[in-house]
Structure 1
Amino acid sequence: MNEKNPSVARIVFAYLVVYIVWGSTFFFIEKALRSFSPFVLGSIRFIIAGSLLMGYCGLKGYKIFNREDVKQAIFVGFLLLFIDMAAIIWSEQYISSGIVSILSAATAIWFIVFDKPKWKENFSSLPIILGLVLGFTGVIMLFAEQVFGQTDDGEKSQNLIAMGVLILGTIGWTIGSLTSKYSQKDKSEKRKEQPLNVIVKTAWQMVTAGVAFTTVALLNGEYKAFDYNAVYLADWGAIIYLVTFGSILAFSSYIWLLQVRPATEVSTYAYVNPIVALLLVHFFTDHQVTPLQIMGLVVVLFSVLLMNWNLYKNNRTIRALRYRKKLKRVKNMAPKSSIPRIIEVAEFSAKEKKKQAKEAKKENN
């Protein structure tokens, strides 16, 4: 998976998978819920995906077990792939997959709110504060759409509960992500054993989610009431899609892109996924995409852009463009034959390269 000079075609393909496939999973979850109850759906999806991914890691010869990493993967997998996905799947019984995808994109809000070590940095940044305010505004707009857009009080109440559950799920995702981030950083200096490959950790996370979904489905009677013969063929197709494309191909593409492209560039999938989900809802379901939902989407995505503004501003691509612009300006400061100009350009280039290397090292740490 590590490549120094990957082809443009592979990069484009990986981005298309992450952009479109991940965005479409919301739609296919909604479709599969016609035949599968929420926890049975999660159970089948993650047990199969986790087993296939673990089998792949075994065939590749990756080390499968490391007590410290497996313990961490189980905890993170429970929060990220069980709590959050359970909230998404359960909520899609009552609200449109388009609304679910928009609220999921608003997870960036909770990263700002719960990332305590970065409070000083985040809350001293005007773009981040504006993004936070806009993000909450977008979420309120979606709640308002459910309050004023429904005539039946029972349906209105159920939809609001589903949206509340979904918000709790995104908070679980955030806490799991931040826990993984900081615990990994704290343990990196004390680590004696070689860490497990990231795909192995992901396999453990999926297996953990599969076991958790299965346990709940057994305890709440969903598996007892489940009838394999009553499942529509198209819904089996949705499950297969979620396992192969949604859980394995899309995530593998995401991990590969993180290794060959800047993380801030890869994170742009968050802007595309809700758009894909909303388009699928509009063209292939009976749900109505309202103007307020579209406005909420625009507000939420713009808020995410603002909350990530400092990251985008300092990423390698933007720095490279700035460097070229400055270098061009310096080159035009004196005649081409000027020796002082040549020295100045050389010194400027060396200084900028040193600065970029230092910033890149800081990012990696």
Structure 2
Amino acid sequence: MEESKPSILSVILAYLVVYIVWGSTFFFIEEALRSFSPFVLGSIRFLIAGPLLMGYCALKGYKLFNKEDVKQAIFVGFLLLFVDMACIIWSEQYISSGIVSILSAATAIWFVLLDKPKWKENFSSIPTLLGLFFGFAGVIMLFAEQIFANTVAEETKSQNITAMGVLVMGTIGWTIGSLWSKYSQKGKTTNKKKALNVMVKTAWQMLTAGVAFTLVALFNGEYSRFDYKAVHLADWGALLYLVTMGSILAFSSYIWLLQVRPATEVSTYAYVNPIVALLLVHFFTDHEVTILQIMGLCVVLVSVLLMNWNLYKDSRTIRAIRYRKKLKRLKHMAPKSSVPRIVEVAEFQRKELSKAEKKKLKEKEKQQSQE
């Protein structure tokens, strides 16, 4: 029995959640930091989100434990959701959430530099090399703005540069965790019946991050200084938003989109998130969004596009556009009497090819989402 195709409205709503909600989490972290210290914020967020997601998975009937998968989830969760997120939260004490979102978008640089099995492919591609150049240029622009700012005190300037450096280290941690997760599964013969669903793995990752944040908050004294009565109602709201919308809804929408849409299309959230973050900073905070920051954002987004160019040029959407252009030229070249036959044959071939490609892509994306 063939699965029902998701409605266009469902897909649009899921994209809006991934685009807007994930982009807004940078802003809401900055808001929550008015009342919460960095590690207490991460602790509460993930200790609530992890069990909630695990409970949802239990209700869905997913298998919750597999020793091998849980070990991997703990390691990946430590790097992705603790190291990277700790760097993001800590950095937002000193720099605007807009700058944080731009530097986070530049993570693609480290994927190119640290993905050793793909070095030959990456460093022989002109678009990828150009992307690397633009990526570093965008990051340097943001650092240069802080270094040469005349209106900022030296101590503040030093704090800002340190925060940006810490954030870059966090993005490297995210990259290492992602690459380890990707390659650790290769060569292993995994029993699909025993393998955990990707949402269960993420719940374990959130729990790992929650425990790590809690341990640090206990040892560095943040919890001993934390007074829940002093937390503003708006900041409780920001925390609730991060738990429900940022960690649960946005992630679920992202996983669902990977199952029903091409992965290259879903990855476009990386271009929208920093724009959303920068707009929220401009309209709802006291931080100034400078021309240099906007230029840095544009340069970084161009770099991300170039570094992913080889993926995009072979995507189903681009192939369909090329096909239509080719068919249009063919129709103009052929005699009028033969045009209907050309269209008929071409449409038949396209439908058959599309069916085969859809089946192949669905199987591939399903496999990727389970890894």
TM-score category of the 2 structures, normalised to the smaller one: over 0.9
C-alpha change, 1:22 and 1:331, in structure 2 (3 Å) is same
CA change 1:358–1:217 in 2 (3 A) is: same
Q: Does residue 1:135 correspond to 2:120, yes or no?
A: no
Opposite residue 163 of structure 2, the aligned amino acid is A
1:175 aligns with 2:176: yes
Aligned to 1:148: 148
Q: Is the 8 A contact 1:72 1:180 kept in 2?
A: yes
Aligned ranges 1:170-209 → 2 under 5 Å: 170-187=171-188, 189-191=189-191, 194-209=194-209
Q: How far apart in 2 are the matches of 1:321 and 1:334?
A: 20
| CA distance 1:280–1:358, change in 2 (3 Å) | closer
Q: How far is 1:324 from its partner?
A: 2.5
Structure 1, residues 235-273: CA drift from partner, whole Å, max 9, x if none?
Answer: 000000000001000000111111111111111111111
Residues 3 and 269 of structure 1, relative CA distance in 2, 3 Å threshold: farther
Match of 2:160? 159
Aligned length, in residue pairs: 362
What is the CA distance between 1:355 and its match in structure 2?
Answer: 9.7
- Whole-angstrom CA distance in 1 between matches of 2:170 and 2:130: 24
Partners of 1:252 and 1:99 in 2: CA distance:
26
Q: In structure 2, what is the Cα distance between the partners aligned to 1:359 and 1:310?
A: 20
Q: TM-score, normalised by structure 1?
A: 0.93
Q: 1:320 Cα shift?
A: 1.5
Q: SS of the residue aligned with 1:273?
A: helix
8 Å Cα contact 1:327/1:349 also seen in 2: no
> What letter is aligned with 1:168?
M
Displacement after TM superposition at 1:183 (Å): 1.3
Contact map agreement 1:327 1:348 (CA 8 A) in 2 = no
User: Structure 1 residue 3: deviation in Å?
Assistant: 5.9
- What is the alpha-carbon distance in structure 2 between the residues aligned to residue 232 and residue 134 of structure 1? 41
SS of the residue 1:165 aligns to: helix
Q: In structure 2, what is the equivalent of residue 260 of structure 1?
A: 260
Letter in 1 for 2:48: I
Partners of 2:57 and 2:199 within 8 A in 1: yes
Structure 1 residues 71, 138: closer, same or farther in 2, change over 3 A?
same
- SS of the aligned residue for 2:187 comes to helix
Q: Is the 8 A contact 2:271 2:301 kept in 1?
A: yes
Residues 340-351 of structure 1: pairs in structure 2 closer than 5 A: 342=341, 346=345, 350=349
> What's the counterpart of residue 113 of structure 2?
113
Matches within 5 A, 1:1-365: 4-149=4-149, 150-187=151-188, 189-191=189-191, 194-335=194-335, 337-338=337-338, 342=341, 346=345, 350=349, 357=356, 361=360, 364=364
Indicate conservation of the 8 Å contact 2:17/2:250, yes or no: yes
Checking the alignment, whether the CA contact within 8 Å between 1:4 and 1:260 is kept in structure 2 is no
| Equivalent residue letter for 1:256 | W
Structure 2: gaps spanning 5 or more residues: none
SS at match of 2:186: helix
1:162-220 per-position Cα deviation (integer Å, ceiling 9, x unaligned): 00000000000001111111112332x35475311111111111111111101111111
In 1, the alpha carbon distance for the partners of 2:105 and 2:115 equals 17
Separation in 2, partners of 1:4, 1:172? 39
Compute the RMSD of aligned alpha carbons.
2.4
Distance 2:243 2:212 in 1: 17
Identity %: 76
Give 1:327 deviation, angstroms.
3.0
CA distance in 1, matches of 2:244, 2:74: 21
Farther-moved stretch of structure 1 (322-331 vs 192-201) = 322-331
Conserved 8 A contact 1:327-1:345: no
Q: Quick one: distance in 2 between partners of 1:197 and 1:260? A: 16
Label 1:192 to 1:245 Cα distance change in 2 as closer, same or farther (>3 A): closer
Residue deviations 1:97-153, cap 9 Å, x none? Answer: 000000000001000000111111111111110010000000000000111125311
The structural deviation recorded for 1:94 is 0.4
Report the TM-score when normalising by structure 2. Answer: 0.91
